[in-house]
Amino acid sequence: RAVPIGGEGASVGDIMPESITVKGRVDYKSMQSFVKQVHRSSTSRAVTLVHVSSAPSGGDAAESAMAKLVKQYRERGRCGVAKTDEGIELYIAPRGKDVEKVIVSVGLTPGQVSPSTGMVGMCIHPRGIGPNVRENKRTRAQMETVEEDYEPAAQFIDVPPPPPPQIMEVPPPPPPPPPPAVAAAPAPAPAFDPQHLQSLISNASNLFSGAPPPPKGQLVNVPPPPP
């Protein structure tokens, strides 16, 4: 059973089916941040606080099942999440500091008190279907920039164009090395002169005989060798 106790105060029977299945879990702080953001900033959705308890017709068995569910949620530190086909979301959690912060932020309907049993539900639904419609005062510029789905918008970064290619002066290649020097051809040997040979023979004979060398240019008769 769910009874509205705060927020916009929408009739749960008008926005929720007779039964709903909890299909997910979320940590308390994420739930608290999201619900407070919708309540304070959304221009299309609103929050209704509900007291979720076991149906009176369920008797002791229903009370015991609810107590076990509250204990399980507290041990795991997470709240349940349910969503209808129409996109209405319900977050249910046992009493605690995070839920108390949501109750203080959203506010109870005059005459209602925080429930001491069961759990607290935070119902996210279209704005304007409950009696306690809260007007979010926003400037036109703010209304145009708010994302109603609260998904982070893609960030586009201006990428500067690549720098122009740098033109570098390439030095000309070095000149080829000079060809190796070719050695000059040796001077031709002087022509054979018989007189020079005769002078050499005479000088050699004088060296061995002790006689003075003949004057330059004088021919010396050399005896033939013995037989």
Higher pLDDT: 140 or 186? It is 186
Mean per-residue pLDDT, 102-130: 88
Domain boundaries, the chain: 2-145
How, if at all, do strands 45-52 and 119-126 pair?
Answer: antiparallel
Give the pLDDT band (50/70/90) at residue 17.
confident
- Rounded CA-CA distance 77/71 in Å is 10
Sheet with 78-83, side-by-side order of all strands = 2-7, 45-52, 119-126, 89-93, 78-83, 24-27
Neighbour-count burial of 47, counting CB atoms closer than 10 A to its CB (0-12 exposed, 13-18 middle, 19+ buried): buried
Closest CA to 39 of 105, 83, 84, 104: 105
Q: Is the pTM of this model over 0.75?
A: no
Return mean pLDDT, the chain: 75
Task: State pLDDT tens for residues 159-191.
Answer: 344 555 555 666 777 787 777 766 666 666 666
Q: Does residue 16 have a pLDDT over 80?
A: yes
The answer to whether 93 touches 80, Cβ cutoff 8 Å, is: yes
pLDDT at residue number 124: 94
- Rounded CA-CA distance 109/9 in Å is 7
Closest CA to 94 of 123, 116, 112: 116
DSSP 108: B
- Amino acid sitting at position 96: G
pLDDT at residue number 214: 55
The answer to whether 27 touches 91, Cβ cutoff 8 Å, is: no
DSSP letters for 147-173: -TT-PPPPP--PPPPPPPPPP-PPPPP
Q: Which two tokens stand for residue 16?
A: 């929720």
CATH of domain 2-145: 2.40.290
- Rounded CA-CA distance 45/149 in Å is 10
pLDDT at residue number 151: 35
- Rounded CA-CA distance 130/142 in Å is 24
**CB neighbour list of residue 74: distance below 8 Å, 6 or more residues apart:** 94, 96
pLDDT at residue number 46: 94
Long-range contacts of 204-208 (CB under 8 A, 24+ apart): none
